[in-house]
Structure 1
Amino acid sequence: MTEPGFLSTTRTFYDTIATDYADHFRDALETRPLDRALLAGFAEVVRDAGAGPVADLGCGPGHVTAHLHALGVPVFGVDLSSQMVESARRTYPDLRFDEGSMLSLDLPDGALGGVLAWYSTIHTPMDRLPDVFAEFHRVLAPGGHLLVAFQSGDEPLHLARPWGHEVSLDFLRRRPDHIAGLLGQAGLAVHARLEREPEGVDTAPQAFLLARKPAGATRS
């Protein structure tokens, strides 16, 4: 099967910038107390549900995966970029990191108590988001939770030559109401949402949605 072009473009972009990206974002959570609070709340509801481990999908260099681990959550990371996975493994050798795509996860139905998509759906075209969210629903156990973070808005940001590398990529902004609707269509009920104004290097408001696969749902 031919791989969608956006996956190839995204992989090449992050393979190219992996080292610089890891250096730049490794301590990013230290200056973002609200982001840490959201991750702590997610960790607590996942632990309380007791439905299984968390997959940090689009984990990049693994700093958020490690943060969830420090909060007492059984967690592993998955990323499309082999160079990001290698970077995460070097930095956090005691944690698990796998290479993979959110469109087709190498996980059994209902295997996860939580899915974290921390700014990792922002390169997926809108018409493919239902496929991604259906895959999230498949791998979540009944009662499992999803936390998704993304930039809020309509106009994409085109990023070219980051850190001087000859690559570029579109960062796709979304409207929270639209994403909540797509999650609902996938069988994931949104029960909390937050939007904060830009801060630091942010170029747009940031949105966060917490959703849950109903406890009575089938595992696939």
Structure 2
Amino acid sequence: MSTDNWLADTRTSYDTVAGNYADLVRNALSELPYLRAALSLFADGVIAAGDGPVADIGCGPGHITAHLHELGLDAFGVDLSPGMITVARRDHPHLRFQVGSMTDLSVPAASLAGLLAWQSLIHLPDEDVPTVLGDFHRSLRPGGLLQLLFHTGDGSRLKTEGYGGHPMKVHVHRRPPDRVATWLRHAGFEVEAQLLLNNPEGEVSQAFLFARRPRRA
């Protein structure tokens, strides 16, 4: 996998902004009904398929992991940034969080009932996405659910500042949903649904993809 320096830059950037980012998103879900609905659909699907461990990959300060727990899931969080994991453990001491990278996911094969990756693939170079999705597929048990949330569009930009004006150095990649869906199918997933979210100007800005590891090969 071609890591170059993007992993180190992403880790350092999110260590720098961890506290400010946590303050920004701590209560954000209360104002975002479509995001809550997507999480509820995911939780219902995991429970209906037999329940089990759920990984929140790129969990940041743990607010989504905590919401999944409130929905009845055995959720734990994984994030590249030690600073984010420190904040997550502080704010949600009753939950499990660990430092880790989606490019080297230390999860046993077929051990997860569900896997969530919200706005974490956006920093991953195109050439590395298929390998990561293949590892997501390996980690999920047959019938396991995957939910992705990502920025839509095409092209990339370098983010140099954010969350309180702190310096950052992360590339943000925007991708058409159809491209991501194709990657998912090539990784062995069945894509079940797609949800598009518009920004205030009416343009599509984010997309959900709901996918499943088939119960049978």
1:189 maps to a residue whose letter is E
What is the TM-score with the length of structure 2 in the denominator? 0.95
| Cα 1:166–1:196 shift into 2, 3 Å | closer
Specify the alignment match of 1:155 in structure 2: 155
Work out whether residues 6 and 170 of structure 2, in 8 Å CA contact, stay in contact via their aligned partners in 1: no
Q: CA deviation digits over 1:141-178, x for unaligned, max 9?
A: 00000000001101324322222222232211110000
Q: CA deviation digits over 1:79-104, x for unaligned, max 9?
A: 00000001000000000001101111
2:89 maps to a residue whose letter is R
Work out whether residues 76 and 97 of structure 2, in 8 Å CA contact, stay in contact via their aligned partners in 1: yes
1:127 maps to a residue whose letter is E
Task: Within 5 Å, give how 1:132-211 maps onto structure 2.
Answer: 132-162=132-162, 163-199=164-200, 205-211=205-211
Work out whether residues 196 and 204 of structure 2, in 8 Å CA contact, stay in contact via their aligned partners in 1: no
Q: How many angstroms apart in 1 are the aligned matches of 2:35 and 2:157?
A: 22
Of all paired residues, the percent bearing the same amino acid is 48
Q: How many angstroms apart in 2 are the aligned matches of 1:35 and 1:128?
A: 26
Tell which deviates more after alignment, 2-11 or 132-141.
2-11
Q: How many angstroms apart in 1 are the aligned matches of 2:94 and 2:203?
A: 34
Specify the alignment match of 1:16 in structure 2: 16
Q: Residue 50 of structure 1: CA displacement?
A: 1.3
Work out whether residues 193 and 210 of structure 1, in 8 Å CA contact, stay in contact via their aligned partners in 2: yes
Tell which deviates more after alignment, 202-211 or 105-114.
202-211
What is the TM-score with the length of structure 1 in the denominator? 0.93
Task: Within 5 Å, give how 1:88-127 maps onto structure 2.
Answer: 88-127=88-127
| Cα 1:78–1:136 shift into 2, 3 Å | same
4+ aligned runs moved over 4 Å, structure 1: none
Q: How many angstroms apart in 1 are the aligned matches of 2:2 and 2:154?
A: 29
Q: Residue 108 of structure 1: CA displacement?
A: 0.7
Q: How many angstroms apart in 2 are the aligned matches of 1:2 and 1:185?
A: 20
Structure (1 or 2) with the greater strand fraction? 2
Q: CA deviation digits over 1:165-210, x for unaligned, max 9?
A: 222322111100000000000001101001111149x996110000
Work out whether residues 116 and 148 of structure 1, in 8 Å CA contact, stay in contact via their aligned partners in 2: yes
Q: How many angstroms apart in 1 are the aligned matches of 2:190 and 2:128?
A: 19
Q: How many angstroms apart in 2 are the aligned matches of 1:52 and 1:27?
A: 27
| Cα 1:118–1:2 shift into 2, 3 Å | closer
Work out whether residues 142 and 215 of structure 2, in 8 Å CA contact, stay in contact via their aligned partners in 1: yes
Structure 2 SS opposite 1:149: strand
| Cα 1:179–1:117 shift into 2, 3 Å | same
> How much is the aligned-residue C-alpha RMSD, in angstroms?
1.9
Q: CA deviation digits over 1:61-95, x for unaligned, max 9?
A: 00000000000011000000000001000000000
| Cα 1:204–1:4 shift into 2, 3 Å | farther
What are the ranges of 5 or more consecutive residues in structure 2 without an aligned counterpart?
Answer: none
Work out whether residues 52 and 141 of structure 1, in 8 Å CA contact, stay in contact via their aligned partners in 2: no
